[in-house]
Amino acid sequence: MIGIDQITLNFSPASLTLLNAILAIVMFSIAIDLTPRDFDRLRRAPKPVIVGLFSQLVVLPALTFVMVWIAAPQPSIALGLILVAACPGGNISNFITHRAGGNAALSVSMTAFATICAIFMTPFNIALWGGLYQPTRAILQQTQIDPMQIAILVGLMLILPLVLGITLNQRLPALTARLRAPLQLLSMGIFAGFIVLALAANWGFFLGFAGAVAGLVILHNALALGGGWVVATLTRLSPFDRRAITIETGIQNSGLGLVLIFAFFNGLGGMAVVAAFWGVWHAISGLALASVMARTEAAR
């Protein structure tokens, strides 16, 4: 039987272009909720944002490395986990934070700042933690990814739509108020549909190898959520802010992860299966956690 490290998934250049466009639309739908005033949060109350970014961009990749080092999964699976941890927060984190009764404004700010930081931090974390673990270092050496190319791709897919969305919201607030709800529903629906079609095109591979990654992804997601909660608790943030940081750390932009995997790693099987399973599981775990959190009101 072919090993997961030897397979590549079916994903055409046209499909990759379509996924890039979908992620840009999703990011734009988030950005039209923002105004330049929202970024004043960093100046007026910087601690929650800084703690949240530290949890997501530093603590999560470090915890992932420790997990990979202890569990020693197959190299492509290990690099998939490291890559997902290097991505910024996922686009459903704001919705889940709101459902959980957490600080949705903090969640939106964290998503925006983490996305901006991703230009530098995503390639840095992939290179750092992937390079420290010998089996994944071999894959990185074979692919010879260019951090600058990753930065450009992240910028085009995430930063440009972010800037355009904020600009439109500032100049035409009445238009964005009408667009907001239908655009968010449409973008998430298109994204979900695309993932379903991608799974269908590679169903045999996913069926054969999902079992190899399911436990690791569930553990990884639990570490992310737990790490966010511990960091927010140790820094004595309010329960209101703690919920936002917990969810932001546990909800990763696995769609961006898939784009990077197909753009730079030729759809390497273990990495793609990890990112795809993450995309499903973090929504399930996030909504389940939100339903538990929402039973009690968070103190501010």
Does the pLDDT at position 7 exceed 60? no
pLDDT, tens only, 103-141: 887 888 888 888 888 888 999 999 999 999 999 998 888
The per-residue pLDDT for 12 is 56
Reference 147, options 124, 173, 171; nearest CA is 124
Domain boundaries of the chain, sorted by first residue: 4-290
The per-residue pLDDT for 202 is 62
**pTM given for the model:** 0.84
Count the neighbouring beta carbons within 10 Å of the beta carbon of residue 239: 17
Reference 158, options 73, 246, 253; nearest CA is 253
- More reliable by pLDDT, 87 or 157: 87
Reference 157, options 191, 115, 114, 124; nearest CA is 115
Cα–Cα dist 19/14, whole Å: 9
Does the pLDDT at position 52 exceed 60? yes
75 in Cβ contact with 265 (< 8 Å): no
> Would you say how long the chain is, in residues?
300
At the topology level, CATH places domain 4-290 in Na+/H+ antiporter like fold (1.20.1530)
254 in Cβ contact with 90 (< 8 Å): yes
Reference 250, options 293, 287, 282; nearest CA is 282
The per-residue pLDDT for 18 is 72
% of the chain beyond a pLDDT of 70: 85
% of the chain beyond a pLDDT of 90: 33
Neighbouring-strand partners of residue 252: 89
**Rounded to 5 degrees, what are φ and ψ at 252?**
-110, 155
Does the pLDDT at position 11 exceed 70? no
Does the pLDDT at position 6 exceed 70? no
- Hey, what amino acid is at 120? F
Query: Which span out of 8-12, 31-35, 38-42, 174-178 was modeled with the highest average pLDDT?
Result: 174-178
- More reliable by pLDDT, 294 or 30: 294
- More reliable by pLDDT, 6 or 136: 136
The per-residue pLDDT for 260 is 86
173-201 and 203-234 helices, crossing angle to 10°: 130
Reference 283, options 217, 227, 237; nearest CA is 217
The per-residue pLDDT for 28 is 83
Does the pLDDT at position 1 exceed 50? no
Pull the structure tokens for residue 288. 């389940």
Mean pLDDT for the chain overall: 83
State the average pLDDT over residues 193-218.
72
